[in-house]
Amino acid sequence: MNVVDIINKAVEQRRTRFAFELLPPLKGDGMGGVFESIDRLIGFDPAYINVTFHREGIKQAVRPDGSVEWHVVRRRPGTVGISAAIQKKYGVEVVPHLICGGQSKYDIEDALIDLDFLGLHNVLALRGDKSQNEKFFMPHPQGHTHAVDLVRQIAAMNRGQFVDGEVEECHHSKFSIGVAGYPEMHEEAASPEADIACLKAKVDAGAEYVVTQLFYDNARFFDYVRRCREAGITVPIIPGIKPLSTVRHLTLLPRTFGCHIPEELEREVLRHTYKDAALAPAEKIARVRAVFDALDVPRLTEQQISLRFDRALATLDGLNVPDARKEPLREYARSLMGRRK
């Protein structure tokens, strides 16, 4: 069953469904860790399981003569094989991710043929991130620059059209294509309107549903859906959510993904940490202090203290009373400013 059919069935049954996303294991690791993670979640009856695709990295090696050699390495390969193993073991639909980065059109075509042979007919088409040694995303010389081009290739394959055009009479694949959406705008988009125009192009090219980047402000998601509908995007839009598993996520996730965490949610997370009976007092203090330090609260607090003392002293200086009477208050203020906080 493809993802759109799963969504439509859930809507018909008025049932809330969820899916989760897995990273492939590091090269050299087996499937044990992946299966253990799924075993803990399979009881919640996930609608499907996403498997991410990770592009190559760059590894630096120093030669005996002191010169530096760079190697291209893939630390989390195996998306296609892992997806097949999961679907076979658990009988749950799996959605492997495909990316443009580091891939030629022929690499992508080979992956799609393998997926089709394995009975995996759902894919999430993404551009992917830039390589760690790039300032900007650079496509493979024989690859795609934008996710919309990848969508077009998959849709063409569904029509029996291959990259080299050599096969005329052939089996037609039947991939259901998902794409990414950004409620808080993609970091490279010129404007929110331009970002939605890019999404509209992907849908027009053959995308059947949208999965959003993670967000924590529901109002921004609902506004995004409204603007998509106004732009003529009618396909399902699935909200992407990442649970907060540590207090540090309050500062780490906004820096990494550019998402906004509402103040009410921040307060609730800190309140929960404070009330967690399983945490020792020292650990509670350490977690909250880590958030305060990441937000630069100590320095900002010192600034506000200094500002208010300066205002108070300026007010004192403006009083029409003898300086001798003001001096004890000045001394007291200086003692307060110099104390340890």
**Angstrom distance (rounded) from CA 211 to CA 214:** 9
Q: Is 124 helix (H, G, I), strand (E, B) or coil?
A: strand
Dihedral over alpha carbons 230, 4, 83, 77 (to 10 degrees)? -20
- Residues 35, 38, 273, CA angle at the centre, nearest 5°? 125
Collapsing DSSP to helix, strand or coil, 163 comes out as coil
Say if CB 78 and CB 85 are below 8 A apart: no
Q: Is 36 a catalytic residue?
A: no
Distance CA 63, CA 306 (A): 54
Q: Which of 263, 265, 217 is nearest to 241 (CA)?
A: 217
What is the phi/psi pair of residue 57, to 5°? Answer: -115, 175
Nearest to 154 by CA among 163, 145, 164: 163
Alpha carbon 163 to its chain's center: 31
Residue 313 φ/ψ, nearest 5 degrees: -65, -35
Q: Yes or no: say if 198 and 204 are a contact pair by the CB < 8 Å rule.
A: no
Residues 6+ apart with CB under 8 A from 44: 18
Alpha helices in the chain (DSSP H): 3-12, 32-41, 79-90, 105-117, 147-158, 192-205, 218-230, 249-257, 263-275, 281-294, 297-317, 323-338
Which residue among the candidates 12, 21, 193, 208 is catalytic per the annotation?
A: 21
Cα distances (angstroms) measured from residue 147 to each of 1, 6, 115, 128, 236: 24, 24, 19, 8, 18
Q: Which residues are catalytic?
A: 21
